Structure 1
């Protein structure tokens, strides 16, 4: 039987090929996609794009959708077919990385650097919130692990608070710089 080839966004392909990226939620894939993307990414548009791609891969049998019992959580898992398909990569929407000349100019612009840092902190915050929510879900599923899960939950919440403080600080500096 000949191997099938499927077109996929280069960034998405790179993330999905990583062996640790299995049993994931769409928001986790979206966060990794935004973090790895060269262009500015809108969180909502990125989610829609990732969702469409995941649904397409599920229909082709490359990913398996798993609904957790008594939870609203949906997990996606790579199937054996995923490892047998030939992926043809392309840039999303024809997007390319910024030219090096543009990159050199923006690398020295404090407003641009602050906006980049703000974007990274916001992504980290979303990841941290997702992590703390997952610890709560795990606690409900595995109450015998209460002590460890509570500790990990508190660490994630503390990290979220620190990130929120960083975001507030960066936003206030940006507001001052843009006056």
Structure 2
């Protein structure tokens, strides 16, 4: 049987004991609360959760509960000991909020994540503005000089914001740099 790749957050949630019987949306909401990552739409996160839950079902960790309805699909924990067996489960190696929390207090991690989301939104906004300035300059070459100052300011703002994003990411994901 192919090795099962499980996100550490999923293992953590399943082992809390709060999930004897649960729906996909209930598990998704708990996952979002644990990670604090609201940057992705809920439907993408639901797809991620469904894929992992199906894998866990295939490997005998979970079983579907027959509700007599097509939706919502409900699962029940069948055998958590399979999560601990080394040959069948490989966990993704990536920084989790739990790892970041070991170095930083939970409140600080939460504040940094909020700032990070704000800065990422700013990056997208600046990138969009830069693209628009370039498009306008191509369509109306006579306006190139008039918008150059705004373009330069936006590019500088983009660079500063990117630096802030990288600084916060380095605090949340403390991997030793060479």
TM range (shorter): 0.3 to 0.5
Quick check: which has more Rg, 1 or 2?
A: 2
TM-score, normalized by length of structure 1?
0.46
